[in-house]
Amino acid sequence: MVEPSAGNGLLLGPTLATLDEESGYGLIEDGALAWRDGRIVYAGPRATMPHEFALIASPVETDGLVTPGLIDCHTHAVFAGDRAGEFELRLQGASYEEIARTGGGILSTVRAVRAASENELLEASLPRVRDLIADGVTTLEIKSGYGLDFDNERKMLRVARQLGEQLGITVRTTYLAAHALPGEYAGRADDYIDAVIEWLPRLHAEGLVDAVDAFCEGIGFSPAQTRRVFEAARALGLPVKLHADQLSDLGGAALAAEFGGLSADHIEHTSDAGIRAMAASGTVAVLLPGAFHVLRETKLPPLDALREHGVPMAVATDCNPGTSPLRSLRQAMQLATVHFRLTPEESLRGATVHAARALGLTDRGVLRAGQRADFVLWQIAQPAELCYWLGGRLARSVYANGRIIA
């Protein structure tokens, strides 16, 4: 994976929200942030900054608020076409399952992805990722899962890698071939899982896979089939994550935890036993309020139990053409506060500290010496404004690896 080139710099005067404690924003007024070769070397009060850091680069005096760069840890941002027609059908009363069972849903996007060339797929995806970056995202997870055959899964993963290289951000790729059953395998789900497992080492050998995911659901794949995919991932040393318990409780979160999963995502129907398993394994709960909002769901994730058992909660866009056409992680943070009753602090931690953990990354998500210089200078006065304002651009400058990317 090609990382963006590194930069040096020094900001003086903004308020820093370091998030470098177990709780609270870690606010430092009249702060200083210095970085060298893409790594933070100082994040603290201007008054106590060692003189040596003043020599790194010409200082930039500024106001506003600096936070760690936002991390969108669950997206399907590489796709072709749209499903606005399905959105209209749902508004008229059709359910997600009804649309999927009549050939819509994921399979309609599969047809569009298969029809697109690699370059067409890249050009279609670039504007979405640029929007995410403009609103503060510096690290992005992108899943496959709309190809459902070797060549098209490979095409999606290659495009995801190209997005990171062209736009100067870190893109983590997730293999999600176990997303839906393609038409050519109708009635032969186990045979399709055989193919999914056969493709995985070939794609991993090309450097295209950072993690493995599956859709464990009645309209997706069974726990037994998901287990087979996870065993294949474990044999290659790849971490797993799971679309778990979104529409029903099939024990998906507990299954992800059994494999030491990075995350269990959606989890609206996860049982207390599943939450305890996640707590024991350190598996992150990824909340996806965009899908909850668009699908007009009423079953909330078990938030009180997640807090009680100390399960870290990440927040992500789930950017996808069908159930969460959301192109702003900050908007997902806002939806998480309104729909899921997260505090603004929980929501910001969910899009930074805990999102980094959900991707297995330890070098970002807080402002601290030694961390990557991924951060955002916002034209706001206090962190709660990130969840307060609906729409509009609040990011003045977005930095990845110490260089401005938006």
| CATH label of the domain that carries residue 250 | 3.20.20.140
**Residue 83 known to bind ligand:** yes
**Residue 354 known to bind ligand:** no
Of 357, 378, 353, give the one whose Cα is nearest residue 23.
Answer: 353
Task: Verify that 387 and 350 share a domain, yes or no.
Answer: no
Q: What is the residue-level pLDDT of the chain in tens, covering all 406 positions?
A: 445 568 999 999 999 999 999 999 999 999 999 999 999 999 999 999 999 999 999 999 999 999 999 999 999 999 999 999 889 988 998 887 788 777 788 899 999 999 999 999 999 999 999 999 999 999 999 999 999 999 999 999 999 999 999 999 999 999 999 999 999 999 999 999 999 999 999 999 999 999 999 999 998 999 999 999 999 999 999 999 999 999 999 999 999 999 999 999 999 999 999 999 999 999 999 999 999 999 899 999 999 999 999 999 999 999 999 999 999 999 999 999 999 999 999 999 999 999 999 999 999 999 999 999 999 999 999 999 999 999 999 999 999 999 999 9
Which of 358, 373, 395 is at the close of a domain? Answer: 358
Task: Verify that 117 and 212 share a domain, yes or no.
Answer: yes
Count of domains forming the chain: 2
Domain that holds residue 281: 70-358
Q: What is the mean pLDDT of the chain?
A: 96
Task: Verify that 51 and 188 share a domain, yes or no.
Answer: no
Task: Verify that 120 and 162 share a domain, yes or no.
Answer: yes
Task: Verify that 157 and 41 share a domain, yes or no.
Answer: no
**Residue 146 known to bind ligand:** yes
Task: Verify that 17 and 113 share a domain, yes or no.
Answer: no
**Residue 246 known to bind ligand:** yes
* Interatomic CA distance for residues 9 and 402, integer angstroms: 7
Query: For residue range 115-166, what is the model confidence (pLDDT) as tens digits?
Result: 999 999 999 999 999 999 999 999 999 999 999 999 999 999 999 999 999 9
Task: Verify that 244 and 329 share a domain, yes or no.
Answer: yes
Predicted pLDDT at 96: 72
**C-alpha distance from residue 234 to each of 102, 227, 255, 258 (Å):** 34, 10, 13, 12
Task: Verify that 142 and 261 share a domain, yes or no.
Answer: yes
Task: Verify that 181 and 276 share a domain, yes or no.
Answer: yes
Residue 66 main-chain phi, psi, to 5 deg: -115, 130
Residue 1 lies in a domain: no
**Residue 8 known to bind ligand:** no
Residue 116 lies in a domain: yes
**C-alpha distance from residue 291 to each of 122, 221, 246, 311 (Å):** 24, 20, 10, 21
Residue 2 lies in a domain: no
**Residue 320 known to bind ligand:** yes
